[in-house]
Amino acid sequence: MTRPDLGSLYRDHLRQLMARADRALAEAGFDGLIVGSGALRYYYLDDSSYPFRPNPRYRAWLPDASPDCFLVYRPGGRPKLLFCQPDDYWYLPPARPEGYWVDSFDLEVVRSPSELRGRVGAGGRWAVLGEPGPATDGLGEHDPPVLVARLDYGRASKTPYELECMALASAAGVRAHRAAEAAFRSGASEYEVHLAYCRAAGAREEELPYNNIIAFDRHAAVLHYQVLDRQRPPGVRAFLIDAGAQHAGYACDITRTYAAAAGTFQELIDAMDAVQLALADRVRPGVDYREIHLEAHRAIAGVLTAHGIVKGSAEAAVESGLTSVFFPHGIGHLLGLMVHDAGGFMAGPAGGTSPKPEGHPYLRLTRTLEPGFVVTIEPGIYFIESLLAQARADARGRMVDWRRVEALAPCGGVRIEDNVVAQAGAPRNFTREAFAAAA
């Protein structure tokens, strides 16, 4: 398949971003933007820094990920990039930017972020987006809510450039997922699977969008499992991997679950895969994402009853809250420059909050879907000891086949997650698209 020209897509993206900023600045009463990439942050009582994560509001404008840089923009003019290239021999300074996006900026190389002060146009009311610091003190108002609400709300709808970056991230993520599965099946430990993933993704740990979840057996019941055992225990039954990749700062977020052998747990995975595909097909403009979440509970109740884990009707499992024992998190979230992207709860461009459904505190997106929204769809069934103990202690316990639970609990749980675009007609599923291309 011939890929679109990223440079052409980027130039259109930047024009849309500038038009959005022009409207937001006018509505909020500002004359210009200063957007910082961010600064290195140091460990307590140490002179070593945390891995650098650029300000996503800066990276929405350009792919650069270097610290101490500033975008300066005033409507009617070209955006200016003050690119910090310190004179340093302790660490390698970042190279002068090159590539498809550079010609869209008036690029000025500076040696220190303090040089920003002499390079911002005189006069006007400026908004500064990013962490406060000496370079921007007194230059403008930091993160004014009336402005950032409008900008963050608009970021939910991705431009064709952003969608292409996310498709490329998905291709890298799927390549690494396939390598991780191969490592698992060859006898690797959690840690060794993680290394195989990073190698295939071509990324250091700090270059991934989030910490990999590489979970064998009961570890899969820990939703954000983080340990990575160095030794593989005997008789591993199952493997859950939740891991992503990036392209130009845009993330993919993919989860797959594998059984070591055919049998009951594989049948549960197959059933959840069918549920996941049906829910992904609901990602269409005009659909309230909260309804997809509630539909997930109804579908998971059907799987629980069909597989003998829950006794009685699927409707009773939902009404009693029993499905939340097995599926305690939300069906997904917005995805983009942030794994849990900005604006998920916003009621409108001026702010406000769209509430979560009652009894569902962990849902991360409550908006009605619009064209260009990229969301995750990640239903799961888990055997979490503490939640099962609560159910056993109350009336819900009578609805559970505990022998069935005890047989499946050593496998930990199932989660399947795709990244899906709402668009005219059928949704675009980045994840399935990338797996099909890789196969």
Instruction: Number of helices (H) and strands (E) in the chain: give both, helices first.
Output: 12, 18
pLDDT at 1: 62
Q: What is the pLDDT of residues 209-220, one digit of tens each?
A: 999 999 999 999
- The mean pLDDT of 74-78, rounded to a whole number, is 96
> How confident is the model over 324-346, as a mean pLDDT?
97
Evaluate if residue 118 carries a pLDDT over 90. no
2 compared with 119, residue with greater pLDDT: 119
The predicted structure's pLDDT at residue 190: 98
CB atoms within 10 A of CB 280: 25
Q: Rounded to the nearest 5°, which phi and psi values hold at 381?
A: -135, 125
- Of 300, 307, 306, 341, nearest in space to 321 by CA: 300
Query: Stretch 23-50: mean pLDDT, rounded?
Result: 96
The CATH number of the domain holding residue 184 is 3.90.230.10
Same domain, 119 and 166: no
> Binning pLDDT at 50, 70 and 90, where does residue 227 land?
very high
Last residue of a domain, one of 139, 155, 171: 155
3-class DSSP state of 363: coil
> Same domain, yes or no, for 146 and 226?
no
Nearest-CA neighbor of 80 among 115, 119, 53, 113?
A: 119
* Domain that residue 22 falls in: 6-155
Reduced to 3 states (helix: H, G, I; strand: E, B; else coil), residue 222 is coil
DSSP conformation class of 214: E
Q: Which CATH number covers residue 96? A: 3.40.350.10
* Separation CA 406–CA 240 (nearest Å): 19
Tokens, residue 28: 């909020």
Please tell me the total count of domains within the chain.
2
Tell me the average pLDDT across 349-353. Answer: 92
Q: What is the pLDDT of residue 391?
A: 97
195 shares its domain with 234: yes
Domain assignment of residue 1, yes or no: no
Are 326 and 204 in the same domain? Answer: yes
**Per-residue pLDDT tens over the stretch 141-189:** 999 999 999 999 999 999 999 999 999 999 999 999 999 999 999 999 9
Average pLDDT (360-374) is 98
pLDDT digits (tens, 9 = 90+) for 160-169: 999 999 999 9
Residues 321-330 have pLDDT tens digits of: 999 999 999 9
Q: Would you give the DSSP letter of residue 49?
A: B
- 394: confidence class by pLDDT, cuts 50, 70, 90: very high
Same domain, 76 and 211: no
Q: Is residue 387 part of a domain?
A: yes
CB atoms under 10 Å from CB of 141, counted, come to 14
Please report which confidence band the pLDDT of residue 119 belongs to, taking 50, 70 and 90 as the band edges: confident
Give the confidence band of 2 by pLDDT, cuts at 50, 70, 90.
confident
Q: Would 428 be classed as within a structural domain?
A: yes
For residue 121, pLDDT over 80 is answered with: no
Q: Indicate whether 317 and 400 sit together in one domain.
A: yes
Same domain for 88 and 13?
A: yes
CA separation for the pair 397, 142 (Å, rounded): 52
Local confidence band at 32 (pLDDT 50, 70, 90 cut-offs): very high
Q: Out of 155, 183, 212, pick the residue that ends a domain.
A: 155
Per-position b or e across 147-156, b if 16+ CB within 10 A of its CB: bbbbbbbbbb
pLDDT of 204 strictly over 90: yes
| pLDDT > 90: percent of the chain | 97
CA distance 65 to 337: 12
164 & 151 share domain: no
Compute the distance between CA of residue 142 and CA of residue 163 in angstroms, rounded to an integer: 29
Torsions phi, psi of 128, nearest 5?
-110, 120
Q: In this structure, are 173 and 211 located in the same domain?
A: yes
Q: Percent of the chain, pLDDT > 70?
A: 100
Sign of the C-alpha dihedral, residues 161, 166, 170, 176? positive
Same domain, 206 and 110: no
- Listed residues 155, 185, 220: the one ending a domain: 155
Does residue 326 share a domain with residue 209? yes
pLDDT digit string (tens) for 297-314?
999 999 999 999 999 999
Task: Render pLDDT for 232-277 as a digit per residue (tens, 0 to 9).
Answer: 999 999 999 999 999 999 999 999 999 999 999 999 999 999 999 9
Q: DSSP assignment, residue 51?
A: P
Q: What is the C-alpha to C-alpha distance for residues 196 and 188, in angstroms, rounded to an integer?
A: 9
Are 338 and 403 contained in the same domain?
yes
